[in-house]
Chains A and B, each alone.
Chain A
Amino acid sequence: MTDLDIAPRREESRALPVPALEVTDLVVEFGSGESATRVVDGIGFSIAPGESFALVGESGSGKSITAASILGLLPDDARIAGGSIRLGGDELVGLGSNALRSYRGARVGMVFQNPLASLDPSFKVGNQLREIIGIHRPGTRRAQQEQIAAEWLGHVGIADAPRVLAAYPHELSGGMRQRVMIAIASLSQPALLIADEPTTALDAVIQKQILDLLRSVIAETGSSLLIITHDFGVVSYVADRVAVMKQGRLVEQGPRSSVLSAPHDAYTRTLIDAVPEIGTRFALERAGQPRRLGVRPGLAAAPGTQPVSAEGHRPAAAPILTAERVRKEFVVGGIGTGQSKRSFLAVDEVSLEIRRGEVFGLIGESGSGKSTFARLAGGLLPVSSGTVDFGGAPLSTLTGRALRAVRPRFQYVFQDATSSLNPRVTVGEQIVRPVVRFGKARSVREGRARASEVLDLVGLPAAYFDRYPHELSGGQRQRIGIARALALEPELLILDEPTSALDVSTQATILNLLLDLRERLDLTYLFIGHNLAVIEFVCDRIGVLEAGRLVDVFHATDLFSPDRSPVTRALLGAILPIALDGGGQAP
């Protein structure tokens, strides 16, 4: 696959208006000379004035580096090794940093991924806005800057501008901070707005608000938008045209509807198919196919896998985990800390039961208490009040040896596969240790045999036993995390956002693996997540947490029932479906 056939039109298209951005044969390298590695390898695309263009790819594909190279904001050891970047006709490659500075902000505004860190924590928002206004409009007085700042906060939907201007960043929510960032990026009405994963760190409901805001801002200012994302839902929601990037190259670009509904490239297709969507599982079921991602309804079922009933195959099974009015209060401050004592309620009277053999999904926004509940459910944290019963063992009252005896019966898989593995111990050893420690194997040798068994279960060759975590990819590390949990032959797996840090294609393989394992090993899952589409795809029953309270518990089939709580409906409304039919955007 070469890029030649998808290179943008060149000089002959003089009649068209000058593109807002035209990137040609761009090459970016890390390091120099012999050891240089190309992270962007000859890509080209152009964005028309007022157009929204999405650059899609998985982590490491070079999409963020491409965005950073436009304004010369590459990391110290990276450099543009060739090609051209033209902004409204001006060549940017080769400009010195002083010349580039006059473009930054004024002609191109950038919004970054992590709104929590994108503002200086030590200065008030007003101060930071004034500084930036001062850069672009030298000579304006403080009062004028203040007025412009307040005006722009109004434009980005912040009603109480005076309060926000007088606030430090930590006093604002993530969504609020991203609004401020959008105000900063667009207040000089640049011809191009670059948004690098602008909603990846935000909750679903806020994500939709921020994307709506981006759309309205570019409509108002007439800017073009270059949005960097890995999420096809976002692409479908905001982009006019799409380019798909893989290992530094563009494999495909074109209008959104054609790329999403009829991708030419196999890689694009894999990526799109890997995204779980609401209702996919039922479509698969109706087509008599197994519930697996990457399987398109209508294609032949993979041999040997049985369709799983959405009703959950053991509807009336006995509960394995019962939480009764579980409460958890955290106390911070107090004597010796120099701060006054405060407490907050993370989990508020949550009662639920997880039945043997089911996948119970727990969903909620960040800070809703879902991870805290996961820790309480496994006795990693003591409850403040209430009880947790695991298969007859009163977890919440057990301590020491008695608690240890129950532990191997349930295991955890965490979100961050990297930090939940010890970087200095081979992955095999990390599987063997708990097996031996809990007496599941009488000798290290037996433990090793068990380890190669579970490596095989999670689809890794036995040769991986001697590797260290840094030698593995993110998906492989998560497989190790799952293998380590499975090695103890647990009855319940507590999966705390097991795929949230993974690329969509990797997420798909891990979700498929989890579904496989559950059938083969008769496992029960408590699956914590924030992505409703993932939860709906994997889980039999779903609980919705908000501010520590369990506001809704329902069967996956009843997601659209009118009995759902407003919180659930808000989550459902925030879903960004991939418009495969090429239909128009939401207004």
Chain B
Amino acid sequence: MGTLKHIGWRLANILPVLLIVSVLTFLIGRLTPGDPIQGQFARTFSPEQIEAIRDSYGLNLPLWQQYLKWVADLFVAGGGNSIVQDAPVFDVLWPNFLNTIVLTVAGVLICAVVGITIGTIAGANHRRAADRFSMLFVQVGSNLSVYWFGLILIWVFALQLKWLPVSGMQSRNGGGFGDLLAHLILPGISAALISMLVLARFTRIGIVQESHSDYYKTFQSQGAGRLSLLGKHVGRNILPPVVNIIGLEIGTLLTGVLFVESVFNWPGIGTQLLNAVNGKDYPLIQGGVVLIALVYLVVNLVTDIAVDALNPRLKR
């Protein structure tokens, strides 16, 4: 009961955020200079015809009515029609959005596994060679740009060693799961790079701090082995911050994914949104922003709930 109520409370807390996000998204679309109808049809249609098209898209209504119509469209009309592609926005975005999600999930997994591993090696060997070496790697890695790192990966693993494909993932189901994995590795690593190094740092410092805590001494003084101390006590106590950082980094990672898509020619939502911006395709941009904002909110919500669930002070 307490837990459910708690989660319900968290859910209720994101409603105002959703409202603000939707208003901002809507305004971004409306207040940016440039008119899509003008841009596309100014040469082909007369001003009267353009007005008619504007009417049909509801662009002449007062702002608040446009907002309400837009919100209603999000729920019932697939986010309204894309101006350029003349199809419901979510129908256009959905396949690419799923591709982006696949890449993001791959990135998060790589980030979590590699980041925690590096951090654990460094933290468990605090001030020793393994620590210094890992931290040097982290220091250097943190300064790489996603673009450049992606290109280097392509050059080494795809062009020179020919282990993995350069790019060219076309559909999730085309070549089977193995093919998807092969296509995922390089973009996944480049998307995860920065976040995974951040996570490594936090994991390391968490382990160092917990290893100097009083309870660590208690169990040490009772003859507990280092492995059980690290595995059980330290591991459990750094879990909340690690989950928190992963949650925060998913946001960063998602932003990185939008860049990585263009390097690896990944048919995701990033490329699509870039085209939409160039074509001033408001509904598509707004739909994309809403989707991405939803991902952020869901990730934050899940992170909050997970961190709360890990905190014994919030039980009972």
Contact = CB atoms under 8 A, between A and B. Distances in A.
Given A112-B218, A120-B233, 4 more contacts: A101-B225, A122-B237, A131-B232, A168-B313
Contacts of A108: 221
B312 A110 contact: no
A168 B219 CA distance: 16
Nearest to B310: A122
A339 B237 CA distance: 21
Given A114-B214, A117-B214, A338-B10, A76 B313 contact: no
Interface of A: 71, 73, 76, 101-106, 108-110, 112, 114, 117-123, 128, 131-132, 135-136, 168, 170, 181, 184-185, 335-336, 338-340
B236 A181 contact: no
Contacts of A184: 218, 222
A148 to B, nearest CB: 14
Given A168-B312, A170-B312, A338-B13, A104 B214 contact: no
B220 interface: yes
B220 A118 contact: no
Contacts of B224: 131-132, 135
A397 to B, nearest CB: 35
Interface residues of B, number: 30
Most A CB atoms within 10 A — which of B217, B222, B313, B314?
B222
Interface string B1-13: 0000010011001
A105 B223 contact: yes
B70 to A, nearest CB: 27
7 contacts: A76-B127, A102-B223, A108-B221, A112-B218, A131-B219, A338-B6, A338-B10
A321 to B, nearest CB: 37
A122 B235 CA distance: 10
Contacts of A110: 217-218, 221
Contact of A121 (B127, B220, B237): B237
A108 B222 CA distance: 8
Contact of B215 (A102, A105, A119, A135): A119
A340 B9 CA distance: 9
Contacts of B304: 338
B221 A120 contact: no
A109 B221 contact: yes
A181 B9 contact: no
B30 interface: no
B222 A105 contact: yes
Given A104-B221, A105-B223, A112 B214 contact: yes
Contact of A118 (B10, B218, B308, B313): B218
Given A118-B214, A338-B6, A338-B308, A135 B222 contact: yes
B7 to A, nearest CB: 9
Interface string B288-316: 00000000000000001000101011110
Contacts, number: 86
B221 A181 contact: no
Interface string B87-122: 000000000000000000000000000000000000
B213 interface: yes
B195 to A, nearest CB: 25
Which A-B residue pairs are the 5 nearest by beta carbons?
Answer: A105-B222, A117-B214, A104-B223, A110-B221, A120-B215
B221 A71 contact: yes
Nearest to A115: B214
Nearest to B240: A122
A521 B214 CA distance: 45
Most B CB atoms within 10 A — which of A109, A120, A335, A336?
A120
Contact of A73 (B9, B127, B217): B217
Contacts of A338: 6, 9-10, 13, 304, 308
B20 to A, nearest CB: 13
A80 to B, nearest CB: 17
B54 interface: no
B172 interface: no
B236 A123 contact: yes
A233 B80 CA distance: 80
B190 to A, nearest CB: 35
Interface string B38-53: 0000000000000000
A168 B313 CA distance: 8
A123 B224 CA distance: 15
B204 to A, nearest CB: 15
Nearest to A106: B223
A449 to B, nearest CB: 46
Contacts of A114: 214
Contacts of A101: 223, 225
B216 to A, nearest CB: 8
A263 to B, nearest CB: 32
Contact of A120 (B10, B13, B225, B237): B237
A510 to B, nearest CB: 28
A101 B308 CA distance: 36
B217 A121 contact: no
Contacts of B217: 73, 110, 112, 118
A120 B219 contact: yes
A340 B1 CA distance: 14
A131 B224 CA distance: 9
A118 B6 contact: no
Contact of B312 (A103, A121, A340): A121
B149 to A, nearest CB: 35
A114 B232 CA distance: 22
Most A CB atoms within 10 A — which of B10, B213, B221, B237?
B221
A114 B216 CA distance: 13
Nearest to A102: B223
Nearest to A181: B218
Nearest to B126: A76
Contacts of A120: 215, 218-219, 233, 236-237
Interface in B218-249: 218-225, 228, 232-233, 236-237
A403 B177 CA distance: 71
B209 to A, nearest CB: 12
A118 B215 contact: yes
A123 B215 CA distance: 11
B223 to A, nearest CB: 4
Interface string B187-223: 0000000000000000000000000011101111111
B315 to A, nearest CB: 8
A128 B237 CA distance: 14
